């Protein structure tokens, strides 16, 4: 059969992109048709997503996709970062700009929730790691606001974009699992968690799963993008990490993955959640994946550390080029200074070099001074966190791990990939960088009948069409152990 054409809308915390793919048995070509920055805006003391600017980027990207594909698309799917949402009133109008998960409004919300739901209970019920910005905590922080009182609907970000494109509302399950309101065993709402936290589940439209139909582009969207209808929209793994893990070109099951962009999401793919006390204490999450899978993983701070350093330098009139920084960092001696890339002190926006320097001083290490030294510190620290988290993932789940797959924008960072292989003492297979977009189109293509089979079959197609880069570990266990000990990380 001839390949068909699908567009993936993939919104990351640092950029949004619309990718065009030709997909069929033996064929998977992906190209970027439009990329646009995702720049949060602080207004009235609150950090927001500029969601209409993102939607503008989506429309521009669909127009470009249509232009490249002769005006016709066989489907569209939308994925984005997790946990955040928009509220709609009874007329379907957006009530204010969605609040950014890095906003300070959730400070103190965890204490309120734990007062009515002990952390152990919450973990047993939802399997979710404690992140200070989980949707439950955002909704508790927003309690008694006029905005929430006026809300008739809550749509997670990708569901909001899909709704604007189609007029259809749904709650896609992989992203819903990051709300901390879903039971990972039943893959349905935890009514008890909602009841005890005072969250009205009727705000959410019905659950839908990856592969379910999600409507068709509205006439106004066709007019705006120059596309010829009908263009079906399909629910995909709408959590970008769910799509990214579909996009891991693994051969067999014995792998761990690191989806690395703004965050590094480090863990394994499982059939069942791990809800043990050890897993809770290690703050591992059980997010729902495509085809009934579970992502047992932990969030590591990721390239946010470097993005926010670069923003700080640029704001001071000292802009840096990423390629130059990485080349300079590669020439510096390893592991002179490391920080704990799990430290919540790094979550909010702000002066990142200062926070990194403070963390080095607090652990009696030398302090990085130049941008290249800060970059080296960030990459060594991420590799160290990758090592610790892969080791914990194996121990907690009992999963065999022979290869570490690195996907996402960080797969383009050769130094980070090599350091990750060295730290983990395992081979790293790096790429594709656009794993989320690939996972998005693979699920659409399968739903449309352009492909068939299991996740393993989709991954076989990735292996035969994408070209990952392999890194062999140069083990120096003592050096990594020493660095871990300096910041109190034990594997």
Contact positions vs ligand LRH (CB under 6 A): 12-13, 81-83, 101, 239-241, 262-263, 265, 299
Residue 197 interacts with, from ligand ADP, ligand LRH, none (CB under 5-8 Å by kind): none
> Which residues neighbour 156 within 8 Å (Cβ) at sequence distance 6 or greater?
82, 84, 85, 135, 171, 172, 175, 176, 179, 238
Residue 14: contacted member of ligand ADP, ligand LRH, none (CB under 5 to 8 Å, by partner type):
ligand ADP
- Between 306 and 357, whose beta carbon lies closer to ligand ADP? 306
Question: For residue 366, with 0-12 CB atoms within 10 Å meaning exposed, 13-18 middle and 19 or more buried, which class applies?
Answer: exposed
Determine the Cα–Cα distance for residues 485 and 152; give it in Å rounded to an integer: 51
**What is residue 317's DSSP assignment?**
T
Is the Cβ of residue 372 or residue 393 nearer to ligand LRH in the bound state? Answer: 393
How many CB atoms are closer than 10 A to CB 147? 12
- Closer CB to ligand ADP, 12 or 75, in the complex: 12
Of the residues 240, 340, 380, 422, which is catalytic?
240
- Cβ neighbour number for residue 358 with a 10 Å cutoff: 14
Q: Which residue, 83 or 451, is less far from ligand LRH as judged by CB?
A: 83
- The residues of the shown chain that bind ligand ADP, judged by CB under 6 A, are 12-15, 261-262, 303, 306-307, 322, 326, 408-410, 412-413
Phi-psi region of 11 (alpha: psi -120 to 50; beta: other; left: phi over 0): beta
Report, in Å, the least distance between residue 229 CB and ligand ADP: 30
Q: How many CA atoms lie within 13 A of 70 on its CB side?
A: 4
Residue 101 binding target from ligand LRH, ligand ADP, none, CB below 5 to 8 Å by type = ligand LRH
- At closest approach, how far in Å is the CB of 39 from ligand ADP? 12
Instruction: Output the smallest distance, CB 142 to ligand LRH, in A.
Output: 17
Could you tell me the smallest distance in angstroms from the CB atom of residue 240 to ligand ADP?
Answer: 6
CB of 356 to ligand ADP, least distance (A): 16
Residue 279: CB atoms within 10 A of its CB come to 23
Per the annotation, the verdict on 240 as an active-site residue is yes
The closest alpha carbon to 300, from 391, 366, 374, 234, belongs to: 391
Least distance in Å: CB of 341 to ligand ADP? 14
Token readout for 213 is 């139909």
Which of 308/373 has CB closer to ligand LRH?
308
Residue 53, H or E segment: helix 51-68
Structure tokens that stand for 368 in this block: 């990085």
Query: Among ligand ADP, ligand LRH, none, what does residue 100 contact (CB within 5–8 Å per kind)?
Result: none
395 CB-near residues (< 8 Å, 6+ apart): none
Q: Give the span between the Cα atoms of 334 and 486, in whole angstroms.
A: 14
Q: Give 285 or 418: the residue with its C-beta nearer to ligand LRH.
A: 285
**Peptide bond between residue 220 and the one before it cis (omega within 30 degrees of 0):** no
| Binding partner at 307 among ligand LRH, ligand ADP, none, C-beta below 5 to 8 Å by kind | ligand ADP
Nearest residue (CB) to ligand ADP, 88 versus 436:
436
Calpha distance 265→302 (Å, rounded): 8
299 binds, among ligand ADP, ligand LRH, none (CB under 5 to 8 A by kind): ligand LRH
Q: How far apart are CA 74 and CA 441, in angstroms?
A: 11
Q: Residue 412 touches which of ligand LRH, ligand ADP, none (CB < 5 to 8 A by kind)?
A: ligand ADP
**Residue 82: contacted member of ligand LRH, ligand ADP, none (CB under 5 to 8 Å, by partner type):** ligand LRH
Which pair of tokens denotes residue 450?
């352009």
Q: What single-letter DSSP state applies at residue 437?
A: H
Contacts of residue 380, defined as CB under 8 A and 6 or more positions apart, other chains included, come to: 334, 335, 336, 337, 338, 419, 483
* For ligand LRH, the closer CB: 75 or 409: 409
Among all residues, which ones are annotated catalytic? 240
């Amino acid at each position: 059969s001839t390949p068909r054409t699908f567009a993936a809308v993939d919104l990351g915390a640092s950029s949004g992109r619309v990718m065009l793919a030709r997909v069929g048995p033996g064929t998977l070509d992906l190209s970027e048709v439009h990329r646009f920055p995702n720049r949060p805006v602080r207004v009235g003391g609150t950090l927001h997503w500029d969601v209409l600017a993102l939607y503008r980027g989506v429309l521009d990207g669909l127009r470009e996709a249509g232009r490249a594909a002769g005006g016709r698309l066989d489907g569209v799917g939308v994925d984005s970062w997790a946990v955040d949402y928009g509220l709609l009133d009874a007329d379907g109008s957006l009530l204010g700009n969605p609040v950014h998960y890095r906003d300070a409004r959730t400070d103190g919300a965890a204490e309120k929730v734990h007062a009515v739901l002990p952390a152990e209970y919450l973990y047993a019920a939802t399997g979710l790691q404690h992140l200070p910005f989980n949707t439950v905590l955002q909704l508790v922080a927003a309690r008694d606001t006029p905005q929430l009182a006026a809300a008739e609907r809550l749509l997670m970000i990708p569901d909001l974009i899909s709704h604007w494109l189609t007029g259809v509302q749904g709650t896609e399950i992989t992203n819903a699992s990051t709300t901390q309101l879903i039971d990972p065993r039943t893959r349905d709402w935890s009514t008890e968690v909602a009841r005890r936290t005072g969250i009205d589940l009727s705000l959410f439209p019905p659950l839908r799963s990856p592969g379910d139909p999600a409507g068709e582009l509205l006439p106004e969207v066709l007019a705006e993008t120059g596309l010829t209808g009908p263009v079906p929209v399909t629910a995909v793994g709408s959590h970008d990490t769910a799509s990214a893990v579909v996009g891991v070109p693994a051969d067999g099951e014995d792998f761990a993955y690191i989806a690395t962009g703004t965050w590094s999401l480090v863990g394994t793919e499982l059939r069942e959640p791990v809800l043990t006390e050890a897993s809770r204490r290690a703050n591992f999450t059980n997010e729902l994946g495509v085809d009934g899978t579970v992502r047992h993983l932990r969030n590591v701070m990721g390239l946010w550390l470097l993005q926010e350093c670069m923003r700080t330098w640029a704001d001071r009139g000292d802009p840096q080029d990423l390629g130059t920084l990485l080349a300079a960092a590669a020439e510096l001696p390893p592991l002179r200074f490391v920080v704990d890339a799990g430290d919540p002190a790094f979550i909010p926006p702000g002066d990142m070099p200062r926070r990194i320097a403070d963390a080095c001083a607090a652990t009696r290490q030398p302090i990085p001074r130049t941008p290249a030294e800060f970059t080296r510190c960030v990459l060594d620290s991420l590799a160290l966190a990758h090592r610790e988290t892969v080791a914990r993932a194996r121990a907690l789940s009992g999963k065999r791990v022979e290869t570490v797959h690195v996907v996402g924008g960080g797969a383009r960072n050769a130094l980070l990939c090599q350091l990750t292989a060295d730290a983990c003492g395992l081979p790293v297979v790096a790429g594709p960088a656009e794993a989320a977009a690939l996972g998005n189109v693979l699920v659409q293509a399968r739903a449309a009948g352009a492909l068939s089979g299991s996740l393993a079959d989709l991954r076989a197609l990735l292996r035969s069409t994408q070209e990952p880069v392999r890194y062999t570990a140069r083990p120096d266990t003592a050096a990594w152990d020493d660095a871990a000990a300096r910041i109190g990380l034990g594997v």
